[in-house]
Amino acid sequence: MKDADLYGGLIRLHILYHASRGPVFGLGIIEELGRHGYKLSAGTLYPMLHSMEDAGYLRSRPRVVDGKIRRNYLITARGRSALAAAKVKVQELFGELFESD
């Protein structure tokens, strides 16, 4: 296992968070995640987006941008519920990771 394998859940939470703020698209989320230190290729991100859509956390809509079709992803009610539950778990984990020894 590589260290990067540990971050898959965090990346999905980033995606849900940003999708809760407005539509996201592949390149845009790759750039946003890059600002947080994640280096993702399209070959890694798009299957992740598709699986999140298949699971009902996101839905997508095609949009024409500069004559090309861009797929925008939006959070669903199920995604919002999962994000709210994850916030509680992340807060608990954060507390454990940084509690004084």
- The predicted-structure confidence for 44-72, as pLDDT tens digits, reads as follows 999 999 999 999 999 999 999 889 899 99
What's the rounded Cα separation, in Å, for the pair 37 and 54?
27
Q: Name the amino acid, one letter, at 84.
A: A
Average pLDDT, stretch 16-29?
96
Question: How many domains in the chain?
Answer: 1
Helix (H) or strand (E) holding 69: strand 68-75
pLDDT above 80: residue 31: yes
- The encoded tokens of residue 99 equal 């509690």
- Residue pair 56/45 in contact (Cβ under 8 Å)? The answer is no
Q: Which domain holds residue 17?
A: 3-98
pLDDT of residue 85: 96
Residue 58 C-alpha from the chain's centroid:
10
Expressed in percent and rounded to 5, the helix, strand and coil fractions of the chain are: 65, 15, 20
* CATH number for 30: 1.10.10.10
Question: What pTM, to 2 d.p., does this model score?
Answer: 0.87
